[in-house]
Structure 1
Amino acid sequence: MPLPTLTDDDRNAARQKAIVTRQARSAVRAGLKEGTLTLPQVLERSDAVVGRMLVRQLLTALPGIGQVRAARLMTSLGIAEGRRVQGLGSAQRAGLLRECPGAA
């Protein structure tokens, strides 16, 4: 199956959409790091910006959680390495809220 042919306008529109999405995810991570957003607030959101974010990126944005602690937490809760926030089950979400410092 051949790839679709995109015009320059289509490519530019897709590029701009990707830039806006990356900036929105960056703002969520910054809000978590600064404390202006809490983990429950982020997990309640049902938009594509948060839903398509990797759980590891979300966890490492929290103060006090680095790469190693995020990996251990994900393993203990049965969360796969490539899991996105929208793919979390209710037990996994509850576990994250219970285990993460300052989540409440």
Structure 2
Amino acid sequence: MAVSATTTARQTDEVLARATKLRNDLESVISGVAAGSVTLAQVFDRSSVDAVCGFVYLVKIAESVPGIGKVRARRVLEELGLGERTRVSEVSASVRDSLVKVLR
């Protein structure tokens, strides 16, 4: 069965729309943390239910915590043995507790 050009274009448009929505949702989580309306603990709690919260890189969330900054956030993550590509959903409960205490 041959795939027509319109079907491919439609599928491409759907994929691009989903990717755009995901980027916007990720940005809203990060900006919520940066604004102080969402805490790090809330992001961890929501990550088991909300796929977007679990999908965001931990370094992006840590850097956006008010008063922390990029250098300190990356240093804390390095001390805990977490890489730059670690997602929020990949972190154990004990590490989550440590991060919440350190990144206040």
TM over 0.5: yes
Unaligned runs of 5+ in 1: 1-5
Measured against aligned partners, the alpha-carbon deviations of 1:21-71 in whole angstroms (never above 9, x if no partner) come to: 111111111111111111111110122211111110011111112221111
Secondary structure (helix, strand or coil) at the match of 2:53 reads: helix
For residue 91 of structure 1, the aligned residue among 79, 89, 94 is: 94
Structure 2, unaligned runs of 5 or more: 1-6
| Aligned residues: CA RMSD | 1.2
TM-superposed CA distance for 1:81, in Å, is 2.1
| Residues matched between the structures, number | 96
Residue identity opposite 2:29 in structure 1: V
SS where residue 12 of structure 2 aligns?
helix
Which structure has the bigger radius of gyration? 2
Q: Quote the residue 1:10 is aligned against.
A: 11
Give the TM-score of the pair, scaled to structure 1. Answer: 0.86
Alpha-carbon distance between aligned partners in 2 of 1:67 and 1:34, rounded to the nearest angstrom: 16
**Cα distance in 2 for residues equivalent to 1:71 and 1:61:** 11
Aligned to 1:23: 24
Identity of aligned residues (%): 32
Q: Which structure shows the bigger proportion of residues in helix conformation?
A: 2
TM-score between the two structures when normalised by the length of structure 2: 0.86
What's 2:61 paired with? 58
